[in-house]
Structure 1
Amino acid sequence: MPKKTPNPTKSLKIPLFIIFSVKLCALISRKLVTLYTAKLFTTPIKHKIPKRELKMDSESICKTIRIPAIDKDIMVYEYGKSNKKILLVHGWSGRGTQLFKIADSLIESQYSIVSFDAPAHGKSAGKSSIMSEFIESVLEIEKQYGPFEIAIGHSLGGMSVLNALKNGLRVKKAVVIGSGDIVQDILAEFVSKLRLKPEISVRLRDYFEKKYQVKMDDFSAYRAAREVEIPVLVIHDKNDPEVPVKAGIHIHDNLQKGSLYLTEGLGHRKILGNHEVIKKITEFIIS
């Protein structure tokens, strides 16, 4: 009997025991459920590196570096030997080798790749992280490994690339794939998956704003996009179950020099290995 292949347009489900525990907290107090939900939101899942990524993993020069702004260490991968460098940024619960097919294609086009495991991801230490740590990691990597010709980000990595550009990252072009957009929408979607009342997403936002002394909407991708002056290619699947296509469209609408490429049937992760998507990225970069 043939194995069932995962449906790329089906959203990843939260385990029932987590939903049960969250609902139990909600019965006890709103403060408790807010704290527990915040912990879940900032705790990525560390997946074992799949065999398909082992080539990039084994052929990269791997080094742990310190990110002074957040006082954390991360693992950095140098892949390829060209002086023309491209930075790859993975998404939530991803790894520095997750975009390996894109990396391999770009190496064939005479580029080299720098990627990294964000805090609490892959081989990097820690148990929790948040988008601001992705952004600080990108900015520090530019100092130590740049300059970069291009920056490419997937999902939260796409949001991080746009915010890093707003905060001083210097590249000629950028690509964002399956990027989230409005932070409050992301919080609301997370709370919905936990089957909690919508008001918890507002409490969650207030909790993060108080803890980090920031406005969460300042990290929304569309706000960063307005300040990005370089050409940006936005790629999104029409049936992405993790991040709705309206996010990609809205980001594109707010870019000064944006291009939009919509796919169909590739979902949130399969899009990273699609031949036509990789071809589109390569054409955009070398044009």
Structure 2
Amino acid sequence: MTTITEAATTAALLSRVAAIRAAEFASPEASAALALPLFMRVGGRLPVRPADRAVHESAKRGTVRVRGRDLATYAWGSGPDTILLVHGWRGRASQFAPIVRELRAEGFRLLAFEAPANGESPGRRTDIRDWLAAIDALQAREGRFHTIIGHSFGAMAARAAIVDGITAGGLVAVAGPSRARFLVDAFAQRVGVGPTTADALAARFARRILPDLTDPWPRFDGAAYPLPERVPLLVVHDRADREVPASEGIRLHDAHGARSRLVLTGGAGHNRVLGADATLDAVTAFVTGGTEGLDRLALDLRSAAVTGAGAGAGAA
């Protein structure tokens, strides 16, 4: 049942969207100015699912200092190799509970953080800089990561961090966009404004968040700036993802050639894909054996397809 607060929030958002659309007729720049706060809005904090609570409560809690704030961290297991888990926008560490259970059983140590305004970390606002700074701070404290597993926005942030110099033995990108500009264009489409306003919003956002870069968007494009040659990639995406279409995962996979593997699930959607059987099987095989381990795995699941390099375009 919708609460009064939720109803009021929905009404306020609809009013803001209407104002953004109306402003576009006068000036795309004015429309973009109104749209920017909504584009950067995190929204209400995601609760811990009942199915994930046991894993959530079993974690060793800690903090990491990032850009003046103490962010929540969680650790599971005590193995010699550490895997970093990076949640997405309006996400939290507990979403990785199914993966934590699988990989802890394989002897790995799992580590996660929650960005500002997400999970149990303080703050009301956040942006990509917080994700990158958190990954950097944890690397400085922990050393090289065996693997980094990112979901959604977190997959994009993890990839950018590795391109920027974070050391990891591999990357798993689950339901992630291949490029940051997709987020702007998808937002513009949902709000109902045109490409000129989307361009103005992208420029305004870049000036706000990364003012030192003339054009920051290629930096967050997995095709323009792929992972270093030494880093293998596993891309997992659901064909029915309504938040980030599977075409984004396919594009990222195709940009990485023979060192990438693509797993397409069916019917899991954007968030539940983290606990899909095909995802857990593929992630475990990749983490324990790399791309060769994944190739050896017989994924006899009707809802999934494993595609080798260069075959992604035909898998959509």
Structure 2, unaligned stretches of length 5 or more? 1-8, 290-316
Of residues 44, 55, 60 in structure 1, which corresponds to 2:42? 44
Written as runs of structure 1 = structure 2, the 5 A alignment for 1:106-185 is 106-185=103-182
The residue identity in structure 2 corresponding to 1:269 is N
Report the Cα distance in structure 2 between the residues aligned to 1:168 and 1:124, rounded to whole angstroms.
Answer: 25
Task: State the match for 1:268 in structure 2.
Answer: 270
The structure-2 alpha-carbon separation of the partners of 1:121 and 1:240, relative to structure 1 and needing over 3 Å to count, comes to same
Deviations 1:210-232 (A, max 9, x none): 22213223212333325453111
Task: State the match for 2:61 in structure 1.
Answer: 62
Higher RCO structure (Cα 8 Å, ≥6 apart): 1
Contact 2:162/2:227 (<8 A) preserved? no
Task: State the match for 2:202 in structure 1.
Answer: 205
Secondary structure of the residue aligned to 1:223 is coil
The residue identity in structure 2 corresponding to 1:42 is M
Q: Quick check: 194-203 or 109-118, which moved more?
A: 194-203
TM-score where L is the length of structure 2: 0.80
Question: 1:85 deviation in Å?
Answer: 1.0
Contact 1:79/1:114 (<8 A) preserved? yes
Q: Which has the larger radius of gyration?
A: 2
Aligned-pair identity (%): 24
Contact 2:222/2:255 (<8 A) preserved? no
Task: State the match for 2:224 in structure 1.
Answer: 223
The structure-2 alpha-carbon separation of the partners of 1:162 and 1:216, relative to structure 1 and needing over 3 Å to count, comes to same
Q: Quick check: 78-87 or 152-161, which moved more?
A: 78-87
Contact 2:265/2:278 (<8 A) preserved? no
Task: State the match for 1:79 in structure 2.
Answer: 76
Report the Cα distance in structure 2 between the residues aligned to 1:179 and 1:224, rounded to whole angstroms.
Answer: 15
The residue identity in structure 2 corresponding to 1:18 is L
The residue identity in structure 1 corresponding to 2:31 is V
Report the Cα distance in structure 2 between the residues aligned to 1:50 and 1:32, rounded to whole angstroms.
Answer: 40
How many residue pairs were aligned?
A: 272
Question: 1:146 deviation in Å?
Answer: 3.1
Q: Moved runs in structure 1, 4+ residues, more than 4 A?
A: 14-17, 28-32
Deviations 1:137-190 (A, max 9, x none): 111111113332111001111111111111111111211111112222220111
Contact 1:74/1:125 (<8 A) preserved? yes
TM-score where L is the length of structure 1: 0.88
Q: Quick check: 138-147 or 112-121, which moved more?
A: 138-147
Task: State the match for 2:247 in structure 1.
Answer: 246
The structure-2 alpha-carbon separation of the partners of 1:201 and 1:25, relative to structure 1 and needing over 3 Å to count, comes to closer
Query: What RMSD in Å do the two structures reach over aligned CA positions?
Result: 1.9
Contact 1:184/1:201 (<8 A) preserved? no
Task: State the match for 1:10 in structure 2.
Answer: none
Contact 1:237/1:265 (<8 A) preserved? yes
